[in-house]
Amino acid sequence: MARQPIGVAAKVFAVVCGLGPPIGGMVGMALLESFRWSTDFYDGSRTVTDVLNTALGWLQLSYFVGAIPAALCGLALAAWVSWGRPITVLTCLAASLVYPAVLAITALFAPDPHGMNVALLHAAVVGGFSLVAGLGCYLLLRAFGLVRITNAAGG
């Protein structure tokens, strides 16, 4: 397969870094709000304005939390694409798990078992949101034609 121009890799990196964190953040907000509404934590006092304020807060927080995972995922996908490899669902999901894998490996070297358990839980939560963001970025990259990559298999 032929190498792709640097512009294609830059588009992949820009889409993943620009849109990956809000996708993961909005899914996180929806999951936490649905958990809150389905339990006794919901007292019925939330209005539509409160939910929109929460969504905007999660959107801002998503870049703070998801910038490093998105950058690592974007670099991995950009490197993959620059060597002429096609973007697939498995490629996006594997690239989105780079940062959580680093977190999990780092957790194994924690000095106490409680710290290791907390770090592994953190890696699992970040991994879940990263998988959702990776799937969303795949849909944006391939299904909506933001980046068109052709290969011998007709991708």
Give residue for tokens 């944006």: 140
Please give the average pLDDT of every successive group of 10 residues along the chain, which has 155 residues. Answer: 76 90 85 72 68 79 90 92 85 93 90 87 90 90 65 46
Contacts of 12 (CB under 8 A, 6+ apart): 74, 77, 78, 81, 87, 141, 147
Q: Name which of 89, 91, 98, 87 is nearest 127 in CA terms.
A: 98
Tell me, yes or no, if the pTM score tops 0.95: no
How far is residue 113 CA from its own chain's centroid?
28
Can you give the residue ranges of every domain in the chain?
Answer: 6-143
Give the separation between CA 54 and CA 60, rounded to whole angstroms: 10
Helices (H) then strands (E): counts for the chain = 5, 0
